[in-house]
Amino acid sequence: MYINRMKKLLITPLIILMLVFSPAVANTENTLAALSGTIYFCPHVIDGDTIIVIIGGKKEKVRLIGVDTPETDGPYTKKEPFNREASAFTKNMTEGKYVKLKYDRERRDKYGRLLAYVYLEDSTFLNVELIKEGYATVFRKFRFKYRDDFIHYESEARKSKKGLWKLF
């Protein structure tokens, strides 16, 4: 852990210097991706559980594994209570920022979206935070690595009447 912290402390100033002094480095997300292989820029949030990231210069939809946030009104969904708050939370946490993606067994869903656990630059686990703060429920339809932990966090949020659990 100490070594990882030291690497971050040494690499971050190096990246900043490269960006400031090198016109050849025009794309920050490519620089960070080259260093870690899994850090991407998030230019847009679709809703509480789906974000856009830039991978190889291409926009990719990323569906957060194991979480289900209230839906917004759309062609296939009806608007659900607390959808604006959930979307705003995810937007505040990720939009215009860099995120790290980690994958489980399945890489894509039937809609072609990447399925990922999303971590913020400070190592915050976004999927977990959505559940802990009551912005999401556990998506129980499929098995996934952290399912039991997510169910525990959902139970705690429900008991504490956090987020959408205030409505019940």
Catalytic residues: 63, 71, 113
Cross-strand pairs, 42 = 97
- Please report which residue ranges of the chain form alpha helices under DSSP H: 2-21, 28-36, 83-94, 126-132, 147-159
Nearest to 100 by CA among 129, 114, 120: 120
Q: What one-character-per-residue DSSP string does 37-62 give?
A: SSEEEEEEEEETTEEEEEETTEEEEE
